[in-house]
Amino acid sequence: MTNEHGGIVVEGVARNFGSVQAIRHIDFVAPPGEVTALIGPNGSGKTTLMLILASLLAPDHGTVRVGGFDPVTQTAAVRGAVGWMPDTLGFWESLTALEVLTTLGALYGMQREHRTERAHELLETVSLASYSTQPARVLSRGQQQRLSLARALIHDPQILLLDEPASGLDPGSRVDLRTLLRKLVAGGKTVVVSSHVLSELDEIADRAVFVSGGKSVRSQTIDEAGSQTRRYCVQAEPMSALAAVFARHGVRFVERGDSRRIEYQVELTGTKEAAWLLRTLVLADVVVTAFAPAGGALEETYMSLETDRR
């Protein structure tokens, strides 16, 4: 799962800040060549775990291996293998976009010519080439996020740790981010993404680890998430015809919406049952105007865990 080329394995990690237990017990695996999503509510321990993986915090208990190295005893090796993107650009705003990248490249020991070439290449990749001589402080929130991603990539790391990378990005930039991350994992890199934008993670991630209250509570692949029981929203003209077919086949539903838009919500056990229901409605001459999951696959898991927790 993990070796000198990538991969992360975390077993039984805990971390306290005084009397506050930020992480109680987390098991976490991120294989090379995949995007692993880290999902959980605010205060669940996601950022603390990311800081431990980046060797910026030491765990109180448990074991961590990042690319085969221990972040506590082999800090330099881990930092050389990891590209870390926090949720803000940080104290770099007086430097130009180009200087931000070349300065970090110098800290990684890159030769001047190489780091300058690499910086220009990355500015093109994140669509900031025209801002190379602009101070980072004049960039928008979304542009600063793109610069922060380029900064994490400057030394071509094998492992990427991204904390809320889509925050502040416009829809087009989110598509670009998704495309870039899929390209990176296709090349064998390990990517960990912590995000609240669950709909984006459905398109980006290969697997997810869910955390709550400082504990890892579930791990699943995207295929597993897609095959679970999910809520579907269905609309038709008229809705009475839809209700009649549901009643005939014993399909239980809940009415949602208001006077402007009514929909029926049903729970279906995977795509096969969804396909059966849609085919049944069409064969019954119901004019179906909408038929889709109520949310993303990972969102479905997240909401079920939140319901169980309550």
User: How is residue 56 written in tokens?
Assistant: 């910026």
All structural domains of the chain: 8-225 (3.40.50.300), 228-309 (3.30.70.240)
- Smallest CA-to-CA distance from 208 within 195, 137, 290, 49 is with 195
What pLDDT is recorded for position 288? Answer: 96
User: How is residue 97 written in tokens?
Assistant: 């976009």
What pLDDT is recorded for position 2? Answer: 57
Q: Please state the rounded mean pLDDT for residues 108-120.
A: 95
- CA–CA dist 25, 31 (Å, integer): 20
Say if residue 70's pLDDT is above 80: yes
Q: Which 3 state secondary structure label does DSSP give 66?
A: strand
User: How is residue 88 written in tokens?
Assistant: 């803000």
Residue 43 banded pLDDT, cuts 50, 70, 90: confident
Q: Which 3 state secondary structure label does DSSP give 211?
A: strand
Q: Please state the rounded mean pLDDT for residues 114-132.
A: 95
Say if residue 3's pLDDT is above 60: no
- CA–CA dist 149, 202 (Å, integer): 20
What pLDDT is recorded for position 310? Answer: 55
Residue 259 banded pLDDT, cuts 50, 70, 90: low
Length of the chain: 310
Q: Please state the rounded mean pLDDT for residues 119-124.
A: 97
pLDDT digits (tens, 9 = 90+) for 159-185: 999 998 888 888 888 888 889 999 999
Say if residue 301's pLDDT is above 90: no
Token pair 């809520």: residue: 231
Rg (CA), the chain: 23
What pLDDT is recorded for position 116? Answer: 96
Q: Which amino acid is at 296?
A: G
